[in-house]
Amino acid sequence: MKNLAIIVQNLHNGGAERMAANMSKELAKYLNVYLIVFDSDEAIYSYGGKLIDLKVPPVTEGSIFKRVMNTLKRVRRLKYIKRKHEIDCTISHMGGANLVNILSRHRDKVISVYHSMPSKEFSISIKNKLVQRFIAKHSDKYVVVSKPAMKDMIENFGVPAAKMKCIYNFSDIDDIRRLGEEKMPETAVAFFEAHDKVFVHAGRLTKLKAQDRLLRVLSELRKSGMNAGLIILGDGEEKEALIASANEEGLKEHVLFTGEVKNPFSYIKHSDLFVLCSRYEGLPMVLIEALCLKCPVVSLDMRSGAREILAPDTDIEKVADTVEYAKYGVLTPPYEDKDASAEACLVKAVREMLENIELRSRYLAGCDEAAENFAPGNIIPQWLEL
């Protein structure tokens, strides 16, 4: 069997980390897999193969020299592992891991993976163009998780099309459904019982994810007389500000901030609706996971990922300019800062999905089909071929 290494920063932080863990489980059925992390503390994602912890966590403070030395330490340890285990191919997820993978090349094929939308994550500058071209040049293949991201890399950053490949992320559907059946904490059970309708969001609490928009949606729903509640799953630097905003708006008892939870799926399974309102995404796995759990979804059409999941038969260049009732979910116009018109569309979509029984039934009927598009059986063969 071939020896495959998968590199990621950690096993607790977000979508890319979850994807690396999922990949290790599925590919371990066909290959000798070594899942290599820079720091395994606080690991919450299950994985396959053998876990190797480099024990070189990121340097969050200090000079550029310290950060460079930290990277070189990772490179040195990874190169030793590649030699020791005779690694044939190494797949790395996200920028820091991609750089370490390239610099530690031994005799292995190097595959770099990028999980976001480049021109949204960072500026289209000479420096960033050179970085992306460097990663592409020194990788055997540069994989992105959405078609708009691939188009962005080629057109705006000058990455050669021959180096690029789009492979969608996948979800462990059976495992997600199993976890969805687990019992929730009593505080969550009481929250559901206190509200007629509950919508949910999962992700890091950051400005990028824009959870403050959800508070405004909840406020509008409650002003109209709906006994609605909102569950926000996750932790992050915006948590205290979001809690303060909820208190100021008189929503304290109607928003449940769970913090980071090991199993978000039981919350999503019991919710009436999942809402995603990020400023941008790569391929938002949370939408796929919600669909796995038969939880209908509303999402901003943030130019990458959401349309490919919810409206796969439409042009990826299309952007919703009003409420769009797509094949597998509802899309609303994207926006950067406060935009009254776009936010009104989001409120309308959420209200209709919570109140309109016929509309909910239509989308519930399509959840399984939508999730199956991102099942391992449809995605793993592409990785094996690569």
Q: What pLDDT tens digit does each residue of the chain (386 aa) get?
A: 899 999 999 888 778 898 999 999 999 999 999 999 998 887 888 899 999 999 998 887 778 888 899 999 999 999 999 999 999 999 999 989 999 999 999 999 999 999 999 998 889 999 999 999 999 999 999 999 999 999 999 999 999 999 999 999 999 899 999 999 999 999 999 999 999 999 999 999 999 999 999 999 999 999 999 999 999 999 999 999 999 999 999 999 999 999 988 899 999 999 999 999 999 998 999 999 999 999 999 999 988 899 999 999 999 999 999 999 999 999 999 998 888 999 999 999 999 999 999 999 999 999 999 999 999 999 999 999 99
Q: Phi and psi of 353, rounded to 5°?
A: -70, -25
Residue 241: predicted pLDDT? 96
- Tokens linked to 50: 């053998």
What predicted TM-score, i.e. pTM, was given to this entire model?
Answer: 0.89
* Interacting residues of 333 by C-beta distance below 8 A, sequence separation 6+: 300, 301, 319, 320, 321, 322, 339, 341, 342, 345
- Residue 166: both structure tokens together: 């789009």
Query: How many distinct helices (H) and strands (E) make up the chain?
Result: 16, 14
According to the model, what pLDDT value does residue 40 have?
83
- The residue assigned the tokens 């926006």 is 335
User: Can you read off the two tokens belonging to residue 272?
Assistant: 């009436």
- Tokens 């059976």 belong to which residue? 174
Alpha carbon 377 to chain centroid, angstroms = 20
Q: Under 8 Å CB-to-CB from 279, ≥6 apart: which residues? A: 120, 207, 208, 209, 210, 302, 334, 336
In the numeric block, the tokens 């999730």 are attached to 371
- Bridge partners of 166? 144
Q: How far is residue 313's CA from residue 99's CA, in Å, rounded to a whole number? A: 35
Asked whether 265 and 289 are in contact (CB, 8 A), the reply is yes
Cβ atoms of 287 and 308 closer than 8 Å: no
Using DSSP, state whether 110 is helix, strand or coil.
strand
Q: Tell me, what's the pLDDT at 44?
A: 81
d(CA 281, CA 296) in angstroms, rounded, equals: 19
- How far, in Å, CA of 365 to CA of 327, rounded? 11
Give the pLDDT confidence score for residue 1 in this predicted structure. 87
Domains along the chain?
Answer: 3-170+375-385 (3.40.50.2000), 173-372 (3.40.50.2000)
Q: How far is CA 223 from the centre of its chain?
A: 32
| Residue 338 CB burial class (10 angstroms; 0-12, 13-18, ≥19) | exposed
Which amino acid, residue 333? P
E-strand stretches of 187-264: 197-202, 228-233, 255-259
Cα(206)–Cα(227) distance, integer angstroms: 27
Q: CB within 8 A of 315, min separation 6: which ones?
A: none
Cβ atoms of 366 and 296 closer than 8 Å: no
Q: Tell me the torsion sign for CA atoms 319, 323, 329, 334.
A: positive
Q: Measured between alpha carbons, how far is 27 from 65 in angstroms, rounded to an integer? A: 37
